[in-house]
Amino acid sequence: MKKILIVDDAADSRLILKGMLRNYDVDVLEANDGIEGWKKIVAEQPDLVLLDLHMPNKDGFSILEDLEEEWMGIPVVVVSSDTEEDTISACEYYGAKAFLKKPVVLEEFKQAIKVVPL
């Protein structure tokens, strides 16, 4: 079974994303900040990370940079309300496979997670 890690400090955002995954045969893991998220990435080696950018303690940009430095090869879909062009470009530069803006639209979500066959 594939593992998907949702890293977001907003509980309601994690709940919405978890609901969007309910029809897939996946194990959903959650982290409520960047430090917890990074620990779970290292320990669990998820098949996909759904990553918020602006979080306390360790932000999503740091996680993207760490993933690239460690050559972990774990696909990341960024989920953020920060839709500035520079932000999206930075996410792409650091290897994000897709960028979803909050609030997430179900059809866009389905397209974005196709980076991993579920």
For the entire predicted model, the pTM comes to: 0.96
Query: How far does the chain reach from its first CA to its final CA, in angstroms?
Result: 9
Nearest to 21, CA basis, from 115, 111, 110, 116? 110
Task: Please provide the size of the chain in residues.
Answer: 118
Q: By the 8 A CB rule, do 64 and 16 touch?
A: no
78: pLDDT confidence band, cut at 50, 70 and 90?
very high
The whole-angstrom separation of Cα 58 and Cα 31 is: 12
pLDDT at 72 over 90: no
Closest CA to 53 of 85, 99, 5, 12: 99
Reported as a pLDDT band with limits 50, 70 and 90, residue 116 is: confident
The neighbouring-strand residues paired with 117 are none
Domain count, the chain: 1
| Residue 7: strand pairing partners | 31, 51
The CATH number linked to 54 is 3.40.50.2300
Q: Which residue has the higher pLDDT, 15 or 116?
A: 15
Structural domain that includes position 104: 2-115
Judged against a pLDDT cut of 90, whether residue 89 lies above it is answered with: yes
pLDDT above 80: residue 118? no
- Give per-residue pLDDT as tens, 2-50: 999 999 999 999 999 999 999 999 999 999 999 999 999 999 999 999 9
